[in-house]
Amino acid sequence: MPDIEQPTEDTNAAVWKTDVGVTFWKSTEADRERRRAGHRELLAELLPFGPDEAFTFADLGAGTGAASRTVLDHFPLAHAVLADFSPQMMAQGMLELAPYQGRYTYVEFDLTRAGDWPAGIPAPVDAVISSLAVHHLNDGRKQTLFAEVLRQLAPGGWFLNYDPVQPPDAVVEEAWLRAGDRRDPSAADKRAHRTAEEQFRYDNHVRYMVPLDQQVGYLREAGLEGVDVYWKELDYVIYGGRRPRRPL
């Protein structure tokens, strides 16, 4: 069993629960989102709903709602419950979600805390997604969170996670860097000359990141079925599975 008492000491709060953190996130968003648009589309396309079906999904670590917006665009009758622990990200998200008024709610949820989910997330919920957030949780918490996802999902409900992963070894890491540096010739220089602030952010970013196989294993151990890596490019992946239709 994972150690759910594992301390939740958290440089994450220093990154995300600050105006500076949100301003930085916004300032780097346009280029990032251009690259990610297709990945987010695929996550939406993997959900098993028709365009005229009403359903509710939870978005864990939803931030300003980039992943939720893509799902809401794909499914006109969907309702999003965006869960996050940062008042600053949620305030910014409410501005950006203005065109979706009535189709979303925000709930405060510190994902480091194991146990019951906030009352604002329906139980059962039709689907759970997460984007660029699970890598901020330590390994014990990833495992307990996946068990909670299974418990919260409706029978047959899907969980999909879009996230960066660690390379499993140095040879793979070298290959990822080689390809990444060809695409962005300034990347190697940026890596070598991080400011103290950038280094803090980077350390926070990779601190709990683990290889893909491990995480896929956690999903299977939690009891999801149809577990697969549905998309992967270098260090970014979409993995997921669904709650079996039979009783647990």
Distance from C-alpha of 89 to C-alpha of 96, rounded to nearest angstrom = 11
Residue 157 is a binding residue for ligand SAM (CB under 6 A): no
| Shortest distance in whole angstroms from residue 112 CB to ligand SAM | 4
Sign of CA dihedral 60, 217, 202, 3: positive
- Confirm if 60 and 141 have CB atoms less than 8 A apart: no
Structure tokens at 218: 């956690």
| Shortest distance in whole angstroms from residue 246 CB to ligand SAM | 31
CB of 35 or CB of 220, closer to ligand SAM = 35
Site for ligand SAM in 112-151 (CB under 6 A): 112, 131-133, 136
x/- mask, ligand SAM, residues 73-112, rule CB under 6 A, reads -----------xxx--x-------------------xxxx
When binding is defined by CB under 6 A, the residue of 2, 44, 57, 61 that contacts ligand SAM is 61
> If we measure between CA atoms, which residue out of 135, 153, 132 comes closest to residue 66?
132
> If we measure between CA atoms, which residue out of 34, 35, 69, 41 comes closest to residue 230?
41
Residue 204 is a binding residue for ligand SAM (CB under 6 A): no
Distance from C-alpha of 48 to C-alpha of 197, rounded to nearest angstrom = 41
| Shortest distance in whole angstroms from residue 52 CB to ligand SAM | 27
| Shortest distance in whole angstroms from residue 194 CB to ligand SAM | 18
Residue 202 — φ and ψ, nearest 5°? -65, -45
Sign of CA dihedral 100, 104, 109, 112: negative
Structure tokens at 82: 């965006």
Is 189 buried (19+), middle (13-18) or exposed (0-12) by CB count in 10 A? Answer: exposed
Residue least distant from ligand SAM (Cβ): 63
Distance from C-alpha of 148 to C-alpha of 173, rounded to nearest angstrom = 32
# binding residues, ligand SAM (CB under 6 A):
19
x/- mask, ligand SAM, residues 4-23, rule CB under 6 A, reads --------x---x-------
Q: How many CB atoms lie within 10 A of CB 196?
A: 7
Which span sits near ligand SAM by CB under 6 A: 50-58, 63-71, 212-220, 229-237?
63-71
Residue 160 is a binding residue for ligand SAM (CB under 6 A): no
When binding is defined by CB under 6 A, the residue of 43, 44, 47, 63 that contacts ligand SAM is 63
| Shortest distance in whole angstroms from residue 128 CB to ligand SAM | 13
β-strands 225-233, 236-242 pairing: antiparallel
Residues in contact with ligand SAM by CB under 6 A are 12, 16, 61-63, 66-67, 84-86, 89, 109-112, 131-133, 136
